[in-house]
Structures are given as structure tokens and as C-alpha cells.
Structure 1
Amino acid sequence: MARDQHVHVEWRGNTCRVKWWGGEYLPNGRKRYESKGGFTDEDEAYQHGQDKLYEIRHGTHIRNRDKATLMSDWLDDWLAAMNYAYSTEVAYRSRVEAHIRPYFGRMAIGDIDPLIYRAFKKHMEQKVGPATAKNVLSTLGMIIDDAVPRLIKISPVERTKRRGKFQKKTKERKKDVSEETIDALARNAKTLLGEPGYVLIWTMAMTGMRPGELFGLTREYCYPNWPMTEPRTDPAEEDRYAEDLERYGKGADLMPAIRVERQAQRTARVKGAEFFPPKYGSQRTLVIPPFLADMLEAMLATHASRWVFPAYRGGCLAAGDFNTDCWYTIRGGADERPAGPGVRIPRPPIPAVPEFAGKRMYLLRHAHKAWLDEELEHSRYAVEARMGHELGGVEGVYSSVTVPMEQAIMKSLQGRWDRLQDRAAGRPS
């Protein structure tokens, strides 16, 4: 039987090697062959070469030198090609440099198999907490998946757990959040940040805004200024600009609202904070209850900062570490700081809020969602849109947020505040 001229078998001692040509040439013009040795049967070696030619013709072949690419080199290429939000890129780069590169750096990407992946997973679970391990493994999965089919045929990353003992996923334990708890947190924030601190906590509880969105909120996007003061920079948004003027603002026939157009984050590129689009591009309008509208208007009259919720000295809260600087004290309390030598900002004692001991500020956003869900008459579409989420399927395509939906949300949130005031005054609610 005639043999393919692009496949050659040659014996070396007791074993033979097969070489095959995939259509590439060396710089000197000679053909570039790939090869594999160790065969003891010449027909088996020849068939292997034929199989490789079949893969080449059908675009599924991975060259030996591609499989031999060092993981460190692939990590460099992958990081250089990232195109994510700034904070996401920072997180991915941190996981790569702290965990993935030190473990895999000198290993060829084609040598990473499921057993090596499992060993790394076990290593991470023993080295760091479960949340960090999960994030690192997720990033590694994306990195290796992107090498398919350029460098490897299939990813060794296991997507489903099929072996080993069952481990139930741990879920963050949440408790019902009362209006009294929110007010206790707000009063502590007021001790640290003044009136803007008090309104900040209530605004997050009544809007579900993310912390970065609150930190980046400026006067032109906040009641009572918005929508009259919104910068109209996008011609594609002209219809929305006009509709917002008819629907929102200060007036008997208008609804008070905040416009979430961006978030602020601390970065290494500039001193202070930078603006970025909100997470998942979730620009949205949030109607607010009348009590919060009054709070915002009165509070904005007390300071001249561009930031609706400025730091103690007037800057952006995102420029510092809000958790360390403020949140841990807001939830956990602190001793009195009396005036005296070396004390820049004296303050009274701050009581702990036991219901939020060890809890993230982000749970105020979760509490807002739970409050809306408790009111069964609210449209699911309106609630998810308020949270900055998108619903899939027919419901997401056909639904829209109407004025009655927004008015219902305003009414239920105002009712929570009114009942809190009644309970504080000893009135039946």
C-alpha cells in the first residue's frame, strides 16, 4: 500500500519514530516536521502520523510546540489581552501573581491534566479561605479555557464535582433587618461623618445602591437637582432626558429620584478615586420615598462638596478604605475619643449594633431587596430593575417599569419610615 509522502517512519534502535509535515516551513525554506517516538510497531507509528494529518486538515491539530508553551508565557499573554472593568482586572492580576503563576509558572500548559488541577485545588483550599480559593479557581478556569483550542484541545478544569465526599455549599447567614437596626447604623455613621453619614445609610437601605455607586454620587445626579442638572452628553439618550423631565424631580406631579450613572473606585492610576460605569452597566433611575427626599435636600444644604456623601474632610469616600475607616466602627462600635493632645477628631462613644456584628455593608443592599420582596404586590421586573439586574426570557423582553410601579415602591418604603417613627413615639403602627 502506497504511503503518504508527508508521513515518514524511521527506526532508531528498538523503537521507531514517526514524522509528519503540517504545511509549515522553517525560515531557511525547509519543511518543518513534527514527530513522536517510542513506537515498537511501524504500522502503529504510521497510523499516528496519518491521524495527525487528519487533525491538521480538519483544524483540530495542536502543534507540539504550542502544547509546550510555558504557563508563565500564556499568563503574560492572557493578562495583556484582558478587557474588563478596572477593579475586575486588578482582582484577576492579583490572583495570577499571588497564586497561579507561583504554582504553574514553569509548567507547560499541555502538561496540566485533571489530576494536577485537583492538586492545585486542594493546595488552595488548604492555603486560603474557601471564598478566595473559589475565586482563584474560577480565574484559573478562564485562563485555561481561553487556551482551547489554540494550545490545548480540551480544558482539564472540572466543571462538576463527580468524585470525593459531598460538600454542601456554605451560604452567608442572613437575618431580617429591621428599621431600628438601620437607624442604629445611621446614627453611628452620623457620629463619624456628620449628617451625610446618617443619610448615607438610609439612602442605601431605601435604594439598594451599591457602595461604589453611593460614594460616586454627585449633586447633579441627586434629588432635588436631578434631572434638571444632568449633563446631557449622550445623543442616544435624548429621549430619556426628555422623559425624565416629565416624570421625575421636585414638584407635586413629579417623583423624587436619584440617577445611578456611575460608581467611584480607588485606583492606582490617580490620586483619590476614579469614575467607572456601574457594575454590569446597570445605569438606572431610583425613585425615593418623600422622607428620604427631604433628608437629602436638607443635608445637601449643609455642605458645599460635589459629593453627596463626602468624607469627613469633604473628599470622596472611595478614595480611602471605607471599611477600615468607617464601616467596622459603624457596625462594631468604639470607645469615646475625648479631646486632648494628639486627638484630631474627638467623638463620643459609639455603641455596637449586634444585629450587624461582622456583617458586610453590602447586606444593606440585600435588606432593601428583602423589604421589596415582602410587599407581594410589587412587580418582579420593577424590583430587579431597581437592583440593577436584568430578567431573562419573555418577562425581561416585554416588561417595563411604569409610574404606578414606582409609586407603589415609594409608598411601601415611606410606610416603613412612618412605622418606625410611630414605634419610636409609642404610637400604634
Structure 2
Amino acid sequence: MAWVEKHRGSFRVRYRLDDETIFTENGFVDQDEADNRAADVESDQRRRRFVDPRLAQTTIDEWIRQWSEAHRVADITWATYDSHIRNHILPRWSGTALGDFQRIAVKGWVNKTLRPNMADKSAQDILVLFSMILGEAVDEGLIGSNPCRKLRINFDDRPERPHAATDEVDALAGRMAPDNGLMTITDAYTGLRWGEIAGLQWIRTYLDDDTPHIDVDPKFGALHEVRGRLELGPPKTPASARTVYLPPFLVEELRAHRDRNPDSQFVFTGVNGGLHRRSNFRRRVWLPALAGDEQKGWSPLNEEMHFHDLRHTHETWLIEDHVPRIMRLVRLGHKRKDVDDIYSHITEQMIEETLEALQQRWEQDGGWTWAESPAVEPEAA
């Protein structure tokens, strides 16, 4: 039972908790507001949906500690969560009790603090994590509702990513040191993610099989950077563990590359055989190649393009070449979502026709010769 009392010029609501403790909510301006709250308390208690208000006094700091101890994700995912928590969530909300979060305050934080300082996709990722954290507080009975729900924030659609034509990829690779150029060509003709190609090992590269291919290993198929440390781990999703078949020209180029680097564990490395760091590669290799060089007669090339856009490029090429959807899904390591995807299967004919199409692209529009590549200083690992 809940009741209303007048107290020091305002009204308060009092009610008995399960342990017979009397709890008080102060600060209601008028009796109607207090009566409505008392009715809500009685209704929630009757329907067994009442949340002990003392639990809501837990701070977000303490709850995040408990949530972190119970949560398990891949190291690379946790590194992202940890960054969002340390750099964005706690700096704004540290010390706030779970019960004190207001929906409109969260909406203001997203719109006025996060979005002006980062891409909408990043702001949305932070909000999704925050909502997940508070949603589990609801599930644990600490608070009655999640203040992140139904915020009605109109995040901008992600812009369509650029892709490159075959000759653009060749020109881009030609502005790099040969090994980096081959890495770029390989990515465009396989669609591997950055971590998959940067962590690719020779033991997973089967160039002498009847149908040469790369295997993306489910446990060690991708290179991750976790708190500044490079380490091998699983690829992005279970569907990412896959076999990627290679067109003939790429097999020849990779064999020659292997002969030049007989003692290397990894297919593509930086200076002194070190592993590639994405930020270093982007700054020292990728961006200069895109920007061009007036003295060498190199015009800027698709300057908004990221290395990951080579993956978009690969899928665009497959679509242009009428490669079946199921073949594209499996080759790119995407999850099968539709019923048709589940009941479709890869055939030898699909593999052969896909490789023929990629080979034809190289022979007609590509075919850049590695020996003729310009001398460019290699990037540091």
C-alpha cells in the first residue's frame, strides 16, 4: 500500500517494501502528482513489476564493474567497449545513480556531445553499448526501464562507400613498394578484411593445390590490435572462417612473392618482417598513394577510399560479373540470412566461373607488372 503525506510545503509518497521497510519519495509539487505516483507504486506491486528503489541508487560506475566482470566477448570487441566506456560514457555519467538517468538527458548527451565530435556511426555504436549496459540493469531488477529506449534520434545514413575500377586498383598498387602493391591487388581480388590479409600466414595459403586457395582460420584467421598489441585471433564472425579461391594470375604472383620471402611466416609484412599496423599502413602507404605525386605525374585517385573499400570493390566486381549471390556471401564471409541463402550451395561450376571472371578482369584491364613498379620507400611496421 502507498500513501501521500504533506511535508514541508510539498508532498511525499510513502510505501512499504517487501522487508517491511518504509520508503519515502520526496519532492512532489502538488497532491495530484503524488497521488498518481502512489497509484503507480500500488499497481506495480500488485503486478509484481515493482523495482526496489534502493537498488536504483547503485552508481553507473559500480554497475559497469559488475557488468564487465560478467560479460564475455572477443578481445577486440572488448577493447572497443572499453574505449567507449573510458572515453565517452564514464566521463559524462560517472557517479550517476542508475535511477537518476533521464531519457531526455541521454538524448541531449548523444545529440549535443557525441554527434558534433564524431561520425554518426560512432555515436550510434556508443549509444548501443550504453543501452545494452542499462538494459541488463533492467533485467537484473535494478531499474524499471531503460532510458536509452525509444530516443527517436535520426542518425544520418552511412554514406555509400566508394569502390574502384580494375585499372584504378592497378594504378594505386603501382604507387607502392611491390610487396604493398601485391597486398593491395590481393585484397581487391579476394575481398579479405584488413585483419584477415594482415594476419595471413603461408601455412594457410595453399598455392600448390589443384584449386589454389586461402583458408581463413576460425581461431587464428585475423590480426587484431588490442591495446596497442598485435595478436592473432578469430575473424569477425563465424561465417568469416572460410575458403577463398584464387585466380591463376594471383597464384603466380604470390608464388613469386613467396620465393622472394622464403623465411617469412606471414604473407605480407612491413619493414624487417614486422606485422602491419593498420594506422601505419594507412598513413605511410595508403594515403600517399591516393594523394598522388605531381612530380611523378600521379593524379589524386579516389581520395575518400579506405583500404576496407577494396572489399566493397571486390563485391562490386562480382556483381558486375553476375556471380551468384550465394557465392558472393560465402566468398566475402557474410552470414546467410534469407531462406534462399540457407538452401543454396556452392558448386564447382560457380567457383570456376568466378575465378574465370576475375582472371579476365586482370588480363583485360589489369596486368600491372611488378618489376616495373616505381621505387617507393617501404613503411615501418
Match of 1:60 in 2: 49
What are the ranges of 5 or more consecutive residues in structure 1 without an aligned counterpart? Answer: 1-5, 25-30, 226-248, 336-348, 425-429
- Decide whether aligned partners of structure 1 residues 223 and 188 sit closer, same or farther in structure 2, where only a CA change above 3 A counts: farther
Letter in 2 for 1:186: A
Letter in 2 for 1:84: V
CA contact (8 A) 2:12 2:24 kept: no
Match of 2:372 in 1: none
Match of 1:314 in 2: 273
1:267 CA drift (Å): 2.6
Q: 2:249 aligns with which of 261, 277, 291?
A: 291
Tell me if 1:197 matches 2:180.
yes
Structure with max Cα Rg: 1
Alpha-carbon distance in structure 1 between the residues aligned to 2:71 and 2:296 = 44
What pairs up with 1:46-125 in 2 under 5 angstroms? 52=41, 55-56=44-45, 58-123=47-112, 124-125=114-115
- Decide whether aligned partners of structure 1 residues 16 and 324 sit closer, same or farther in structure 2, where only a CA change above 3 A counts: closer
Alpha-carbon distance in structure 1 between the residues aligned to 2:117 and 2:268 = 39
1:421 CA drift (Å): 5.3
Match of 2:124 in 1: 134
1:199 CA drift (Å): 1.9
Moved over 6 A (4+): 6-11, 38-42, 47-50
Percent of pairs identical after alignment?
Answer: 25
Higher deviation after alignment, 147-156 or 303-312 = 147-156
1:9-39 Cα distance to aligned partner (Å, 9 max, x none):
77767756523131x3xxxxxx444333568
Alpha-carbon distance in structure 2 between the residues aligned to 1:34 and 1:215 = 59
What pairs up with 1:346-425 in 2 under 5 angstroms? 352=298, 354-376=300-322, 378-420=323-365
1:71 CA drift (Å): 2.1
Secondary structure of residue in 2 paired with 1:148: helix
Letter in 2 for 1:317: H
1:204 CA drift (Å): 0.3
Alpha-carbon distance in structure 2 between the residues aligned to 1:35 and 1:366 = 59
CA contact (8 A) 2:2 2:13 kept: no
1:59 CA drift (Å): 4.0
Letter in 1 for 2:306: R
CA contact (8 A) 1:217 1:308 kept: yes
1:48 CA drift (Å): 6.3
Secondary structure of residue in 2 paired with 1:317: coil
What are the ranges of 5 or more consecutive residues in structure 2 without an aligned counterpart? Answer: 370-381
TM-score normalised over the length of structure 1: 0.74
Alpha-carbon distance in structure 2 between the residues aligned to 1:7 and 1:320 = 60
CA contact (8 A) 1:196 1:308 kept: no
- Decide whether aligned partners of structure 1 residues 332 and 389 sit closer, same or farther in structure 2, where only a CA change above 3 A counts: same
Match of 1:217 in 2: 200
Alpha-carbon distance in structure 1 between the residues aligned to 2:367 and 2:8 = 95
Alpha-carbon distance in structure 1 between the residues aligned to 2:92 and 2:276 = 37
CA contact (8 A) 1:264 1:318 kept: no
- Decide whether aligned partners of structure 1 residues 97 and 9 sit closer, same or farther in structure 2, where only a CA change above 3 A counts: same
TM-score normalised over the length of structure 2: 0.83
CA contact (8 A) 2:60 2:95 kept: yes
1:157-201 Cα distance to aligned partner (Å, 9 max, x none):
254638xxx7753514525x2221111222223x2xxx4323211
Alpha-carbon distance in structure 2 between the residues aligned to 1:287 and 1:52 = 63
Q: 1:188 aligns with which of 170, 175, 191?
A: 175
Secondary structure of residue in 2 paired with 1:18: strand
- Decide whether aligned partners of structure 1 residues 397 and 172 sit closer, same or farther in structure 2, where only a CA change above 3 A counts: closer
CA contact (8 A) 2:167 2:366 kept: no
Alpha-carbon distance in structure 1 between the residues aligned to 2:131 and 2:7 = 41
Higher deviation after alignment, 274-283 or 50-59 = 50-59
Q: How many residue pairs align between the two structures?
A: 359
Letter in 2 for 1:139: L
Alpha-carbon distance in structure 1 between the residues aligned to 2:298 and 2:60 = 49
CA contact (8 A) 1:7 1:21 kept: no
